[in-house]
Amino acid sequence: MNRLRYGVLAWLAMMMMGMPMMAQRVLDDEVVETKVEVLDADSLEGDTLPTDSLTTDSLPTDSLRLPWPESMRMALDGLLKDDMFETSQVAMMVWDLQADSCVYRHRERQLMRPASTMKLLTAITALDKLGGSYQFKTQLRYTGKIVDRVLMGDVYCVGGMDPKFNNDDMKAFVNSLLDMGVDTIRGAVYADRIKAIVEAGIPVVAHIGLTPQSVNMLGGYKVQGKTVEAAQHLIDDAKAVAEAGAFAITLECVPAALAKKVTESVPALTIGIGAGNGCDGQVLVYQDMLGYTDGFTPKFVKKYANLHEVMLEAFKQYKAECENRTFPTPSNTFKISEEVLEKLY
């Protein structure tokens, strides 16, 4: 079980969590569920596998029948060949805690932006506290009564932190309302988590547009809101999170003109990252703007320094001084009296 856990962590390092998902819609006392089943290895034959290349149930049949860690290595090698990685940087190391050894490595010494590595701690904690078979739930609730196909009340989407919740699940929510005979909502649709956090006295900065944690569902790192439907959806999202109480909204990788229109449409402050200068404020990842790495740099980033070369030279100098023992010097060390040393045995 522990070895399987380490294999899952490798997937998390690339922001692809192949966990079973259950989106559960609760409409008062009525529950509608949809599940994505994880196929058992013994039931897999030939080319009958699903086409989703980012879940454990779509791995090559041979890799699932091999012993661990060979199956894990084959699975990860195959995964890294996916087209989505053509514009991505991937580096990983899988460490077997029982054997105390490395069982898989891929560009593990590549300098990377550290932001998303914190998700490993979240993933480890989730696996430890929730277990590998835990199923995330998302609920749809409403208030009021249904009269002549009109819901005289509000609709609440109660999130359960499901990392794979996507537009298809939301469409299933809408269909469940239609199945109940509702075609008009006379109330509002609420983003419950933002509202609850704000009511607890915690300020919220929402994030719309390109959300890195959902990049797999978005089809890669792409500009968002370029079609009429997508642009309107972005504006609607901004209005929804502002109404829920977010005091600011981060707009990432959005056309400048659209970001300006969003800014004019909501009372919340807008913070742009790859969204033009029409937002109320700007933000960049400091590792990007200071040139920490020499790899891929997004178009919207301007490097104000090249610290990669500076740091690399500093590391080389540090290594050399440690090896020839010119560091640390007396000025970098602490003293102890000879009298104390003489009393030691």
Adjacency order of strands within the sheet including 139-142: 139-142, 155-158, 189-191
Total of domains in the chain: 2
Is 228 found in the same domain as 121? no
Residue 191 banded pLDDT, cuts 50, 70, 90: low
When computed from its CA atoms, the radius of gyration of the chain, rounded to whole angstroms, is 25
Residue 265 to residue 235: CA distance in whole angstroms: 8
Q: What is the pLDDT of residues 116-138, one digit of tens each?
A: 677 788 888 888 988 889 988 88
Contact at 8 Å (CB) between 107 and 90?
yes
Residue 115 banded pLDDT, cuts 50, 70, 90: low
Is 243 designated active site? Answer: no
Catalytic residue among 30, 108, 252, 339: 252
- Of 72, 106, 130, the position where a domain reaches its end is 130
Q: What is the pLDDT of residues 213-226, one digit of tens each?
A: 777 767 788 999 99
Is residue 175 assigned to a domain?
no
Q: Which domain holds residue 82?
A: 2-18+54-130
Is residue 196 assigned to a domain?
no
Mapped onto helix, strand or coil, the DSSP state of residue 288 is helix
Q: Read off the pLDDT of each residue in 247-253 and give the average, rounded to a whole number.
A: 96
Q: What is the pLDDT of residues 276-328, one digit of tens each?
A: 999 999 999 999 999 988 888 889 999 999 999 999 999 999 999 999 999 99
Q: To 5 degrees, how large is the angle CA 40–CA 41–CA 46?
A: 115
Residue 145 C-alpha from the chain's centroid: 37
Is 101 found in the same domain as 13? yes
Q: What is the CATH number of the domain that holds 301?
A: 3.20.20.60
Residue 188 banded pLDDT, cuts 50, 70, 90: low
Residue 89 to residue 288: CA distance in whole angstroms: 14
Residue 198 to residue 243: CA distance in whole angstroms: 11
Is residue 44 assigned to a domain?
no
Is 237 found in the same domain as 323? yes
